[in-house]
Structure 1
């Protein structure tokens, strides 16, 4: 029956035995488990999580692992269950030999934070080995003259098992001449001896064949056999006898070669060659022993021939035989036990139980950095080791168990000053003389996010030209962080949401990695000139830190706007029509061209020049003001129609320009504007009568309510007009036919600009006047009534105006003056409008004959309005719905 077959049969019994006898205890902070040898891989040793008071989830998070001191990883940890399991086949005989107690020290290492737990696993023997003899047969020669009771030592069987499983007894096959006795030599070893029970008779039986069986104490019992062949001799009937059955000697392991260890002595009472003794090692002495020791065959002296090592083999048991030279040859046996004494010949060894992990620079004092073990294979005081570190480092060694230490911190750490330490550890043993060794452990300091990013400047100025290409780079910001890794990785972002109610994200974009700032669209200097953004540099630490910097972005103006003509307006066409009398003198103001440029600085400086003219000798254009004046007096030969092409240029690079065409009609008798005005009004009334009728019908059909409201307003206006100065003026009851009113018309002329002042008021009330301004080429029968002015009697003039108009009702409508360009930056001498002294009127009322559609440029667009100075107003006038002093309705039709 083979060893594997027997083990298979008892496999189930062994497993049940293991479950029953599995135990653990803690002695001096250690945990011990007991398991039988030869367990299957994956078998459970014990629940380390439960025994150490740990949760299953902590095992993985804290990186629990097993470190073995035997060189092989016999055990591992199932992190999912917290159990220690068998990782490799365990053979107790290989690990512990004949030692009764077989303990395997195992270190349980828990990281984060580092902890060390020592456990011991007791390997219990199972009966997995058979007793066996070195040889399966042995030959003995016994003289027939041997006296009964003589003993012959036989070869001892060997069983690697221990305890009850080791060798227990021997049996001998039945023979009438021989029996078996067991001799105890005192060290637990038992030697079988063959005892002669009765005298041998070679003539009856020359050879005896016996079977020696060795039995162990296991269950079931295992055995081994050896065949003994005995040859009966008839001579030399005395055996050599040693003076001691067991010789013991102690020898230091550093003994030199050639040293005589001891001398064995045997005697033989025979004479002659039968008493001459020859010494030798036993037949089954191992070759390793023969290489270390030798014996003098004549003297019995045992000599050392090699190097002893206590750590390898502390004891040698050598069998010595003494044979005589008789016929037959007789022999005697003894055992020599050589104990090797330990000397301090091994240097202490420093072992990193746990590889040092980087230490956070904010780690408190006492933080465990690494677990270190000291090991010296010498014994006693020679194997006792002490560790220490060098001075000047913020680390100390803290003892935990015997020869086990923790390397811990003992002060503040700063990675920015010392990113790594070289900790030198020295180990001393307690031998004499003491031996030492050194080991350098690198300890890296793990960075902590304790430094914020720092900008190179707290404030940046960046410039970008308007009309830039979207996506072009404006500039960049830069910040540095003294930390490393993710703690030093910086992301840039823009803080704030809006600038001038516009999201900053629509202005610029910042590259989060390198801090480059790009434009999101093309900027327009005329809309925005400067804006500022807050840039934040934020690191990627677990608790991120940040700092801010201000970036001022200035938009640089480019000459991207051509001059825009304000007057004369080209709403009705590309050509402006002006009139002048043929009697005009040199220097007569024909018109004034006014333009503005939306750019700034030099780009907005405007100049005027006469590009083309029907007669260049007749007109001139002021370079700065744009005033068109006559250069000489007109003659009858001059053409009555003159066309001027005026070019307006700015001072930018490249130059932007625009042109305006002015047609000047030279007429005789141009001083009668009222008659011309009436004729043109009549013509326009005829053309637009039908259109106005259609509009009125459409409006009346939209809503009956609107029509009723319209009539109610007319009725209220009519009633209020009887007691007020002016609300609604009709042909039948206009103010200038009311005997209670004093209406006056004053016609004033300033070059081509004509205006009429209508003055009126009750005899007992405050007088009022209305100013009318008409362009020289006006094709519309309208004028503007303005706030009260000085009183002059011009009733006759008003009657002339009334007679020239068609039979229709007059109406007044309020109109607020259009405000000028918000980016008005013209000097006073370049503002549009006619020159001369004019009143600044707050309220304008446009007068339009009833049933006439209004069209054409507004007074401020045509340049013929109540304006002050020489250009439009920087601030628009306040809207007023009624003229001062009036208490009637503000608007009637």
Structure 2
């Protein structure tokens, strides 16, 4: 909380203002602020501009500034709002170390007019310092004979804080012997005394460690501590006493002189000379004991000074006194019993009585390698011996008889991994401490032929340049065998195989000792590019072991073949002539030279160029393609004959070449060229790389189209089969409108054959609902009549072509929407037609249908503009069941199926086409056959 205080009155301000106005404008005034110490930077102090009566807007213009007497910038003014704030943190104890009230004096100076104001900022103390004693501990010596009530002065603590934050109280840690008494004479004067409440006993508590605490009056309270180390001074009132009245000690026999036996310890509760003790043997100890043992006066240690023999005496009793050095000496007594123990002073003895080396690497576990005997002259546990060997080796040691051990094989042996073992056999007794002896033996492992020769890899690739000299060294194979001696001696051989019926040994041979391969003949890359041989490596062990290496031999090509020209530029033809029209344009192909090289790679890469070509020649050749083209328009100045030498060169090293001579004749027109010459260039153009890709693309597309067509045909045939099966289950009927039609599938089938005319023609009607009257008419018959009930007469212009008659003699399958429909003039025959852009003919025309099935003939009818749809002749009621279509040997039968006893009643009628009854006369049959042949011939002529 800040407390501004203004000590100047308004009156005094006015008086001073008028007096000093002519000289300088100074107004003296004083403000007083209070802030706690250690306030952080930016902490609010006071509204200095408001308290001084200054406008905020005049602070900058009048250059308000703050100056301290010591020159330190503890405070600053915010020129934006006129607030005084802490600039640097202030430590009151550092600024005013010995002053209770700490004030920082500031001067506030403003110009225009000049005004000086005095400001006092009081730094308020906070409890930030702990009470501190002059020392961390105080030592006092008090005799155990001092009486209770005795007082001992102590030095108090100090606190850098002031007022209530300074020291106000002292406390002493809880104890039964001492208390603290504080006497206050003034605010800064206090007396602290230690008061003895109870008599001291040094033998019970020789030192008292107390804690003195000083508290200040701040919030929160802070405290400081110091330790009071009070030592109680001794008086000789206690005799020395041993830790034990009876001591036991064990001593090994053959102990050397000076060996430690036991250390005695006596204590005296007194202090100083009253507690100084010396040791000695009692007067009752015999001379024999003193000749073997001695005791040190100051330490109480008993040591060996003579020879100790377990076999002579195994126990000694010694009386010992402890005496202090007080004015009136006092003594204490104890007895020491020393037991003599047998000592393990003999090492085991280890002897290898049998050793069978070397050991074969194929020895089975349990094979005995060595026999060892052990012996120890000690008795009991000191004479009991155990043997063990090194770990992680394929051997073990086992106890067989008393004092005998056997060394046996305990795991697989592999000489190739380790050829010898250094084994350390250790014999240890069970004495304490244990004694041991170690003996090292070496066991060598003998080799057996258990490793075949091995190559670095199972197959290798080598290359041999063609035309190599016979007998040349081409490669060296190498195998290794991890066995030794005879088992590692390797011989090489070729495994019998053939190349084109010739033994591989006729091509190459191998040195059986060093594995060197030699070529027996000169290889030709153009004849043999690659062959494979199998090399076998066999050691000399018993039984011998072997391994194989597959050697892939590639014949490396060299440039030993010149380019060869293909026909018609073959080497057998000395001169080739080409004719070119003088009207040939620039870029026109004259001919193309095709050549091959029997070599491969760059050796077979052929380039073409003219040799010794004149500078004005109108022809050029493609360096890579060999195409000879016209480079400019031909003129009259160009000769009629151009003889060109073409150099064919490969890219081998060294290069090889061939020369072709071409004669080009210039003619006046293309008609003068022979036909084969005109198309000569086109043939070469067609056989190009792009055309090959085009042919492959066409082949691929054709294959896809063929597969799609087959799949489509199979699906359509499957659908057609399903529809036929459904159609067979339906019957023919007439609609209420009196029209003959087929079902909603719009398909029907006409079958003409020599079998019984039962289902030769099947017609179906739409699935329309019918009345009972229609059902009655349905049962009576499917033929319509006119309104008078009389059947209509057949139309005289119902015509059938010869093709129809020929088709009705065989099995015909019709797909489409053919309809026998009731028209104005009677039944009309409506057959499906093939859509065509050509005008219709005058007469009816029969054409094969689209999508006819295999081994079936389907037909459609067209009617031209001059020949409208012909009415179908009506069938009279007395029409015979079987009748003959005019001009056709087929028979049409109209019948109504009657239900049998087995079948359910059916109301479907059928119109069937069948052959003539066989009861006709042979003469009429022959006559019908002749008419049929004539009709067929006429139909064929009309079709053509």
Rg larger in 1 or in 2? 2
Structure 1 length-normalised TM:
0.29
Q: Which has the higher contact order (CA 8 A, sep 6+)?
A: 1
